[in-house]
Amino acid sequence: MVVVMDAEATDEDVARVADTVRAAGGEAFVSRGVARTIVGLVGDVEHFDRLDLRTLPGVADVVRISVPYKLVSREHHKERSTIHVGGVPIGPGRFTLVAGPCAVEDARQTFEAADMAKAAGASLLRGGAFKPRTSPYAFQGLGEKGLEILATAREATGLPVVTEVVDAHDVPLVAQYADMLQVGTRNMQNFALLQAVGAAGKPVMLKRGLNATIEEWLMAAEYIAQRGNLDIVLCERGVRTFEKATRNTLDVSAVPVAQNLSHLPVMVDPSHASGLRELVVPLARAGIAVGADALMVDIHPHPEDARVDGSQALVGSDLRDLATAVRTLPQLVGRELTAPPGS
């Protein structure tokens, strides 16, 4: 069960609802989005009905939710949400490009990639300062130095920054620099991390796990929402299958399925889905066609020298093809391309 607060509800109104539920032996989790505040209830639903919560000041509705991911479900939130990252919208009616280097290697590489991303139509800059790798001997990122480089690139280009956080202890540090916190595929079910980013006060991008079902993905988003944060973007980045021709298999069907089940925006990452530069643009086109709210792609000025995932980073003609796709295709599915800040 969830309590939907009126748009004009005060903090005191929200606290009154939560206190009433807790006094009755239940639990109340307050989640605040851009447009509304939701109070998720845990406990005896029949008892909550007898409390007649609809009569409390500031309450717009009380809704029983049949699915386990109550706060991110469309059962209580029929209209799909728009999330703002540093003033940049991600959601229905728009199409947003997120681009940049998979890993921050040095200032020059990052600034060049940021300029390339903006020229291609990106309105958000992605870049990894902390890199969880399959091999413990592979490049793990520059850490705080990488965050500082990203912050400087933001000042130079005006592009808000999306970057990954891999440890709950690092969330306060990364939140100082980032406009959006990314939870990667290997951490989709790192529940301590999900709870930490949920409480950090920043929008969150949640990648689907390599072997996760869509319901498991949405339940992971629920962990974030339950800690007070409804500003979540889901990212489909391919799942592990028997096929070895690509790194992963991009599940384009997950986009409309997740949009039908949840009010959260859904993004596609064709770079990590394929692992191959020549497949990124075709898969990006597929993501746009199937109705994704955003794309996230890797860009590198010199992919042959990249320390991480150079084989999938766009440059040259491939990047020009991507720019053409994001300029022309979104309008065919009723979307307007989100312009880079300051353009």
DSSP E strand stretches across the chain: 2-5, 27-32, 37-42, 59-63, 83-85, 88-90, 94-100, 124-126, 161-164, 180-183, 204-207, 232-236, 266-268, 294-298, 336-337
**Which pair of tokens denotes residue 194?**
């999900």
Superfamily of segment(s) 83-337: Aldolase class I (3.20.20.70)
Nearest CA among 141, 148, 155, 198 for reference residue 177 = 148
**196 residue type, one letter:** A
Torsion of CA 75, 79, 83, 89, to 10 degrees: 160
What is the full per-residue pLDDT of the chain (343 aa) written as tens digits?
888 888 889 999 999 999 998 888 888 888 887 667 888 888 777 778 788 888 999 999 888 888 889 899 998 788 899 999 999 999 999 999 999 999 999 999 999 999 999 999 999 999 999 877 777 767 778 899 999 999 999 999 999 999 999 999 999 999 999 999 999 999 999 999 999 999 999 999 999 999 999 999 999 999 999 998 999 999 999 999 999 999 999 999 999 999 999 999 999 999 999 999 999 999 999 999 999 999 999 999 999 999 888 999 999 999 999 999 999 999 999 999 998 887 6
Domain boundaries, the chain: 2-63, 83-337
According to CATH, what is the number of the domain 2-63? 3.30.70.1140
Tell me if 187 sits within 8 A of 198, measured CB to CB.
no
Rounded to whole angstroms, how far apart are CA atoms 30 and 15? 9
Residue length, the chain?
A: 343
